[in-house]
Structure 1
Amino acid sequence: MLSPVELSLSASCFDALAWSPDGDLAVAAGEHVQILTLKNTGQRSPVPQGQDQWNITRIRVNLFTNTEWQPIKPQNRDDFSIAAEQSTSTVVGIAWSPPGLGCFRRSVLAVLTSNLLLSLWEPVGVKGQWTRVAIVNHAFHLDPSAPGKLDGLELRRSNIRSFQWCPPLHAPPSPSSNSAPGPETRWGVHFLMATNDSNEILLLRIRRLISAQNPSLPYSIEKLALYPVDDDQRRYPAACSGSLLQSALHSKARVLSVSCGPWLEPSQPTKDSASSAVAMVAAVFGTLPRVFKITVALHASDRVDGDAPKFEARANFSDHPLGQFAPEWTTRCVNGPLKWAPAPNHSGSIVLFVATNIGLLTVSIPRGVYDGSATQPDQFDNREWPLSTLAKEDGEGPKRFLDPISAMTALCDETCGAWSLHMGTTGGLGAVLNMDDLETDDAQKFPRWSKLMEDRLEQFDLNHDLGGQSVARVWGLASRRGVIAVLFSKHPTDMIEYRITSDDKSTIVFASEDPDYSPDVQTLFAPNSSATESWSAQDQREAVIVFLLSSTGQIDKDDKESQRLIYASACCAIVDQQGASIRSQARQSFEQLANLTGADLNEEISKCSDDSVTISAKSIDQLSGPGAHLFERCEICEAGIAWASATEAQCAGGHLFARCGLTFLAIQEPGISKYCSLCQKEYINEEIVARSREGSLSSTYRSLFEAFDTCLYCRGKFQAGI
């Protein structure tokens, strides 16, 4: 298991730790976010320990240019927000998107600062370089295409109070068996749910534009649905009825958090959509929970231009009937985060976890009630788990079970597939709830990471001679492949604690509930591949060749780029593949290309039946004759390039180039490559090529990079440099 990591920071919010599907850890620390990436050591290199295991990047996220966000003038009292106007813009929320959204199919980091701006960040260039790629608040404007000075209602609508990434919604596969599943099928359609100061819940669709004309705006943010949360119900029931305090709280109530449950197919699917799904949304309005229903339908798009989505999404918000039939839990005061179970439990119910003033409330919702098809009030179960059962404390000191829940995460047991919920408090208490045993009293137990945290706290107590007057505060929990990461800090309790910034310390420990489980570190942090199986079970290089050769009959006479790709794949089939079927298919492609372009391909056709052959470099006459665009020419000496290997290319003058691992073309131009983060294999970066051609890419070129968007040889994610 990984060694604990000591960080020189102080967490600035609850749920301050996030673990991305690509293996990166993000920590919210005041005006900065620290990104921890495990060092990729070779097999012969010794495994480093502790702090030496990590590359730590510190990015400042609260500085915005006037172009990104215009300064806001002081507002009247109805539109005034201390956080937005007077704060130093510290981080109050972080979350990683599901995989497949960002550049190279990586996850995007969403950062919410206390000036109520939500920005998206992703890595660029070599490791350790991150940049802001979008500000979500622009989508909330009345006119997002031409945002001006904000005030009044538009300003309140542009202030984001809370957000959450929704689970990806996977589009149905193409009915054609010959085509590869699209990105929407493998990675899903990505949605972001957010609430604003105008008490509206919005569902946004986030897409990356591969061939964006403006590199500074690489993301499209589309507003799908809006629901105003406003009613005459009491939002702060703890306040005295009819008092001035209650009146002030009621008028300033905000939707402070939101959480979207898993997508389920509706019991009665719609007929006019390719795919539809229903999810339940829980939100906290003031201190009371509210539940809603969101329905999303995906329709196949008829548009075929550059970055047009293959599936258009339509969404609709509505009140969920469960809110009317469940007063025993919808009237409970919420004092912490909301969390949905990622999957139904053994009884088929979806579980919602709600942090209350005294503990944790679990609400088990059957599938029929969840999707709104059944509304019987006796079909759901709720139970409260007091935190006082976890702490046996004597004396007159502060009771730790009165501290709020500060972090929750769901953990999947890799061996049996069972789910459990881990939670921690600012008083240092930890608990685990097994989702399959919520009906029994045995579901609650102490986590193993709680012991590791107490051991570190005991050493802190001895080092400072505190006599047991110390406490650990849990600031974040994150899980991945059966392992829990815990972010906590240590503090004295019987004195005024004075610290300067250089004294800020926090610790991350890693633990598993299975004492015999010790995963390989590199495997634990390896990025998640596509959510579905690979397009072909064959050798990946052969799958690419077959994919390109099968599209020979669909290319146009003027589509020189596609012809060049098919010629390169056919040459690769001759020098790299031994199967008779694929060589026969290469022969047919050569013959079709010769008829289409008039090029002399007799040598290539004659060698389709030979073993271990080399295709010689073309002469000057061939490089300037019919079909010359098919052949590769050295950009240094203008000589032809022979075909002898699928990985290297050498011209007649001796200049050596690497071949792209996907298109098999020689990479002669610097700065147009991307690399596998694991095996360092070099590929052409299609986004740079698209920008250099003003967004123009052939359909074959685009579909190839969409079908094979991870490394062919190790399934690793790409990066811009090495």
Structure 2
Amino acid sequence: MFDMTHRIVLPFWPTALDCVDWSGNNQLAVAGGENVAVLSPSFREAASDGSHWTSIVFEANAFTANELPRQAPLSFPSFSLGEEISTWQVQRVKWSSPGIARYGGCLLAVLTSNHALSLWECEGKPDLLRSWKRKIVLNDSLRKHYGYSRAIPEDSDSEASARQRCAQQVSLRIKSFCWSPHQDQSQGDSHIVLSSVAHTETHLLAVSTEGGDICILRLTPPVGQPEEGWSSKVVCTFEAGPDGAAGEGEELTWRGWNSHESCRQSTLSYIHNGNLHHVVIRYTDAGENASDFKVQRLTAQGFGTSTGSLRGPLRYLGNHMLLTSPFDCMTITSIPTLDQPPGVVQESRYDLGERWDPVSGAVPSQTPPWKQAIAESKATFSAEHNLDGHVQERTWGIAASPSGDCIATCITLHPSDAVANIVPHVQKCLLLLSPCDSNIFYALQNPTAQEGKLFCPPVAEDLYFNRLQHPGNQPKQWADSCVSLIRSFAPISKDFSDGKDPVLLAESVRTKLYFETNIAKARFEVLAAMFKKDRRSISEKHHVILQGLMGQVSALASLDLHQGALGTRMAQCYAVLSDKLHAGETDEAASSASNQEVCTICGQEIPMESIKWGRCSGGHQFPRCAVTMLPIGDPKSSKSCRICATRYLDTTQVPELQQDTYQSDSQARGGDSAEATSDKSSVASEPRSSLVRIMLAACDTCVLCGGRFGA
């Protein structure tokens, strides 16, 4: 059997288990020592090792005094090795749901051994070190919530003040965390809208403190003013232990959201003193205030093999079962509900063969593809160092891709019969990327995976990336299979109603543009042609997609929506484009619609020559937004497709689109929003029902090839 495993060498040793996480946007994060490595897919050229991955390593433990105030050593009962003596090594990394960060990406949460939890965002190209920035340290949000002062009180030498300072510092130490899960819109819930719109649920983060509290934080992104930075506030707090029992919550994990009566609810599970606990979290309205949230504790589960001996990791297997790890076995436990009698919980036990080592990770897979990869890596290591097969591997973490077609395993290799003297600068670990099957449809169409919703519904970019790594399939067969798979996840298509709700209109447009058979097939045939570098075929398929775009714009225009300046310009561009396509012309002379686009440099008219670029008679050339057809004069106000590099307007950077977005007004920083927009008062905000807003919200991936967006 031909081995398709990619082996990527990373320049560090991991320092904690469960060190690998795979984002919904198909990026990998690996924690090791003081560093974090981020691997991103490369669609345009393969790396030197033959893989289509680019990697960047950045230092994650260097905090400024403003980010993390220095603290005097505490007394022995409150002493923390990680906080006061360690080098603040990275202990855990977890990606958020897609759609929170810029370009619809994911935020990366990094927990270091000094109990500080920070959030990182990619502001540009992911393979550039300068693109990765720390945005916020969440410990400060806990400080504000508890009302603690950063300043050391004048009577700090007194015994009472010292005890108070110790208690405060302990309550700010974060021990565990988890992101609120992403709710996919394909499940047909009326509360869920586009994945490109940042929702309440994807902006929630749960943290457990050493003081015994579990806090739910809500994140707020910068709106129109990136220099303002991210902010967060605690919207819900409860004790980890029942009836005031001491001890902190460990291994937090969050179940998917669902609608219940007039609210949204979810279950948060965690380990407390070796036992499994569940709480139901509910919120009403927009979930912006503490009064919107309610917490109800389910009956503590303390029986059977799980009694008092649970360790991490915890993993939800769909919406009904939870994977736990007692001392020498794995268990699969059913999740209790509010209407279920106490003690009625199903549990299955799987023995680990008297292995007492802690579990470093768990992923669903029918076959273990990493076994052969590890065996071959051990053989190579033995040959390189003349060890005669005396090699011991250690697995630090394991993660599955969003679509379940690949497993990432992080290992280190060591001599098994000798002491290895290795200095830090030559330490390295191996990240093994092992395909479960060369066919991505294998995992997604697995009945068990579908029933448990173990993997994300596919997007065109993931299917294309799978083809880049396994190029054996015939292009037409591959495109037809992709269309069939995409259609199986399609939501119900609805025609425009008499209502003018922009969210519902955008969802209807998205369903038609991304799931209708002829448009979806044309999009995958574009990807197949890109793989073969067949430019003529690409142009023909673009015409089919363009006709679909024009049909949706025409249907929206017939609703007589309230338009702003951008919406009016967009309608004019489509009118010119429609005249050209119907007349078969290659210049603007035959157009009955007037072209209003002018060069921002010289004021000359910009004719409609291409859906990807525009050029004035003075020779100035601009990229053109492939959805709105508007020329993009400022490169900073655009984003690009990660596959075909087509440019699009970035709604977070265009002044007319920064305010009154699909998120609620109170989410735009409250009282700070007026000050943030005071310097842009001369720019008229585009209405919520504008043609531009609806089309850009609907197209959350590249409309021409299905790629995700980036810098």
Give the structure-1-normalised TM-score. Answer: 0.71
Question: Using the alignment, how far apart are the partners of 1:644 and 1:456 within structure 2?
Answer: 54
Give the number of equivalent residue pairs. Answer: 579
Deviations 1:218-245 (A, max 9, x none): x3434332111235798xxxxxxxxxxx
Q: What is the CA-CA distance between 1:131 and the residue it aligns to?
A: 1.3
Alignment CA distance shift 1:335-1:669 (3 Å): closer
Alignment CA distance shift 1:634-1:460 (3 Å): closer
Question: Using the alignment, how far apart are the partners of 2:118 and 2:433 within structure 1?
Answer: 29
Q: What is the CA-CA distance between 1:455 and the residue it aligns to?
A: 3.1
Are the aligned partners of 2:148 and 2:168 in contact in 1 as well (CA < 8 Å)? no
RMSD of aligned alpha carbons: 3.9
2:453 is the counterpart of 1:475: no
1:94-493 alignment to 2 at 5 Å? 94-126=93-125, 127-128=127-128, 129-143=131-145, 148-149=150-151, 151-169=165-183, 181=194, 183=196, 189-209=202-222, 211-217=223-229, 219-231=230-242, 253-265=247-259, 269-270=260-261, 272-273=262-263, 276-279=264-267, 281-286=268-273, 288-299=274-285, 314-323=292-301, 326-341=302-317, 343=318, 350-365=320-335, 370-377=336-343, 379-388=344-353, 401-411=355-365, 447-466=368-387, 469-480=390-401, 481-493=404-416
Point out where structure 1 has 5 or more consecutive residues left out of the alignment. 235-249, 302-308, 345-349, 390-400, 412-419, 421-431, 433-446, 579-609, 623-627
Which of 673, 677, 684 is the matching residue for 2:649?
684
Structure 2 residue aligned with 1:599: none
Alignment CA distance shift 1:509-1:26 (3 Å): same
For residue 23 of structure 1, give the secondary structure of its aligned residue in structure 2: coil
1:590-629 alignment to 2 at 5 Å? 612=585, 614-615=587-588
Question: Using the alignment, how far apart are the partners of 1:515 and 1:616 within structure 2?
Answer: 51
1:8-157 alignment to 2 at 5 Å? 8-41=11-44, 50=49, 53-126=52-125, 127-128=127-128, 129-143=131-145, 148-149=150-151, 151-157=165-171
Question: Using the alignment, how far apart are the partners of 1:164 and 1:654 within structure 2?
Answer: 52
Structure 2 residue aligned with 1:709: 700
Question: Using the alignment, how far apart are the partners of 2:441 and 2:562 within structure 1?
Answer: 55
Q: What is the CA-CA distance between 1:685 and the residue it aligns to?
A: 2.6
Question: Using the alignment, how far apart are the partners of 1:190 and 1:161 within structure 2?
Answer: 20
For residue 478 of structure 1, give the secondary structure of its aligned residue in structure 2: strand
Question: Using the alignment, how far apart are the partners of 2:197 and 2:140 within structure 1?
Answer: 25
Q: What is the CA-CA distance between 1:524 and the residue it aligns to?
A: 6.7
Question: Using the alignment, how far apart are the partners of 1:295 and 1:187 within structure 2?
Answer: 13
Are the aligned partners of 1:22 and 1:525 in contact in 2 as well (CA < 8 Å)? no
Are the aligned partners of 1:170 and 1:188 in contact in 2 as well (CA < 8 Å)? no
Bigger helix fraction: 2
Question: Using the alignment, how far apart are the partners of 1:322 and 1:230 within structure 2?
Answer: 10
Aligned residue identity for 1:215: E
Larger Rg: 1
Q: What is the CA-CA distance between 1:472 and the residue it aligns to?
A: 0.8
Alignment CA distance shift 1:611-1:260 (3 Å): same
Question: Using the alignment, how far apart are the partners of 1:182 and 1:39 within structure 2?
Answer: 23
For residue 688 of structure 1, give the secondary structure of its aligned residue in structure 2: coil
Question: Using the alignment, how far apart are the partners of 2:560 and 2:140 within structure 1?
Answer: 41
For residue 425 of structure 2, give the secondary structure of its aligned residue in structure 1: helix
Question: Using the alignment, how far apart are the partners of 1:233 and 1:186 within structure 2?
Answer: 33
1:562-711 alignment to 2 at 5 Å? 562-576=567-581, 578=582, 612=585, 614-615=587-588, 631-690=596-655, 693=680, 697-699=685-687, 700=690, 701-711=692-702
Aligned residue identity for 2:309: C
Question: Using the alignment, how far apart are the partners of 1:656 and 1:452 within structure 2?
Answer: 49
Structure 2 residue aligned with 1:347: none
Q: What is the CA-CA distance between 1:13 and the residue it aligns to?
A: 1.0
Structure 2 residue aligned with 1:497: 420
Question: Using the alignment, how far apart are the partners of 2:375 and 2:60 within structure 1?
Answer: 33
Which of 485, 497, 507 is the matching residue for 2:430?
507
Are the aligned partners of 1:11 and 1:30 in contact in 2 as well (CA < 8 Å)? yes
Are the aligned partners of 1:290 and 1:330 in contact in 2 as well (CA < 8 Å)? yes
Question: Using the alignment, how far apart are the partners of 2:64 and 2:23 within structure 1?
Answer: 28
Question: Using the alignment, how far apart are the partners of 2:124 and 2:20 within structure 1?
Answer: 24
Aligned residue identity for 1:496: V
Question: Using the alignment, how far apart are the partners of 1:503 and 1:174 within structure 2?
Answer: 51
Are the aligned partners of 1:38 and 1:525 in contact in 2 as well (CA < 8 Å)? no
Question: Using the alignment, how far apart are the partners of 2:375 and 2:227 within structure 1?
Answer: 48
Are the aligned partners of 1:161 and 1:256 in contact in 2 as well (CA < 8 Å)? yes
Q: What is the CA-CA distance between 1:652 and the residue it aligns to?
A: 3.8
* More displaced 10-residue stretch of structure 1: 515-524 or 225-234: 515-524
Are the aligned partners of 2:612 and 2:647 in contact in 1 as well (CA < 8 Å)? no
Structure 2 residue aligned with 1:523: 466
Question: Using the alignment, how far apart are the partners of 2:570 and 2:150 within structure 1?
Answer: 46
For residue 225 of structure 1, give the secondary structure of its aligned residue in structure 2: strand
Q: What is the CA-CA distance between 1:277 and the residue it aligns to?
A: 2.8
Point out where structure 2 has 5 or more consecutive residues left out of the alignment. 153-164, 443-462, 470-484, 492-509, 520-544, 659-678
Question: Using the alignment, how far apart are the partners of 1:687 and 1:60 within structure 2?
Answer: 28
Structure 2 residue aligned with 1:560: 565
Question: Using the alignment, how far apart are the partners of 1:383 and 1:41 within structure 2?
Answer: 46
Alignment CA distance shift 1:80-1:258 (3 Å): same
Question: Using the alignment, how far apart are the partners of 2:388 and 2:619 within structure 1?
Answer: 75
Aligned residue identity for 1:560: A
Deviations 1:263-301 (A, max 9, x none): 355xxx32x34xx2332x322224x12312223345369
Question: Using the alignment, how far apart are the partners of 1:289 and 1:655 within structure 2?
Answer: 67
For residue 215 of structure 1, give the secondary structure of its aligned residue in structure 2: helix
Are the aligned partners of 1:99 and 1:105 in contact in 2 as well (CA < 8 Å)? yes
Alignment CA distance shift 1:63-1:161 (3 Å): same
Q: What is the CA-CA distance between 1:573 and the residue it aligns to?
A: 3.1
Structure 2 residue aligned with 1:427: none
Alignment CA distance shift 1:546-1:295 (3 Å): farther
Question: Using the alignment, how far apart are the partners of 2:349 and 2:559 within structure 1?
Answer: 64
Are the aligned partners of 1:108 and 1:120 in contact in 2 as well (CA < 8 Å)? yes
Alignment CA distance shift 1:546-1:146 (3 Å): farther
Are the aligned partners of 1:278 and 1:296 in contact in 2 as well (CA < 8 Å)? yes
Deviations 1:474-518 (A, max 9, x none): 001011232211111112234333210133121122334558889
Question: Using the alignment, how far apart are the partners of 2:710 and 2:146 within structure 1?
Answer: 31
